[in-house]
Amino acid sequence: MTIQFPTIILPTVWNLGTETEVVLDILEHTSIEVPVEFLQEKLIQVVAREAVVLGVPGNLWMWVELSPVQSTTSAAYWSAIGGGGGVLPPAAPVVIVGTGVTGTIHPVLLPWTMHGNFARLVVQTPVLVATAGWAIQALISGKGAS
């Protein structure tokens, strides 16, 4: 028997399930690390909403990273699917371009078939726009044996 289960992974801390992660700086925002070794049909659903006071938010970069071990064991093994990640910039991030209209929602699906023991989502705006940013929530789902 298989089950499909969605779990919030970004923001990393939430109580109600309606919270979002605010991204309007040049720092990488890393999600909760999820064990995915025995999951099939893995998918991260990202909902990015523009939060604009003035201007257009910087492009939002997103990528999935895999590792054989959790960061608490070693942070050295994380790498992006398709290359890069960890301490290196990703080779091909998924990019959302803002419109400058506050409240505009950009839904994105990030499926992958590559196997690893742990996965996480990383989001970043490499260009700082202090008056416009993103409010993000991400959920991961997959099928596994019950």
The pLDDT tens digits of the residues spanning 46-96 come to: 999 999 999 999 999 999 999 999 988 988 889 998 888 776 778 889 999
- In this model, does residue 146 exceed pLDDT 80? no
Q: If we measure between CA atoms, which residue out of 53, 12, 7, 38 comes closest to residue 118?
A: 38
Using CA atoms, how far residue 128 sits from 38, 42, 125, in Å, is 38, 31, 7
What domain count does the chain have? 1
Q: 139 with 31: CB under 8 angstroms?
A: no
pLDDT at residue 5, rounded to an integer? 64
pLDDT in tens, 8-18: 999 999 999 89
Range of the domain at 32: 2-145
Sheet strands (E) in 53-117: 60-67, 79-80, 94-96, 105-112
Nearest of 49, 27, 42 to residue 96 by alpha carbon: 49
Q: What is the CATH number of the domain that holds 44?
A: 2.60.120.680
pLDDT in tens, 91-115: 889 999 999 999 999 999 999 888 8
- Under the banding of pLDDT at 50, 70 and 90, the label for residue 1 is very low
What is the DSSP code (8-state) at residue 102?
T
Give SS3 for 33: coil
Tens digit of each residue's pLDDT (9 = 90 or more) over 126-145: 999 999 999 999 999 888 75
Q: CB-based contacts of 15: which residues, under 8 Å, 6+ apart?
A: none
pTM score: 0.90
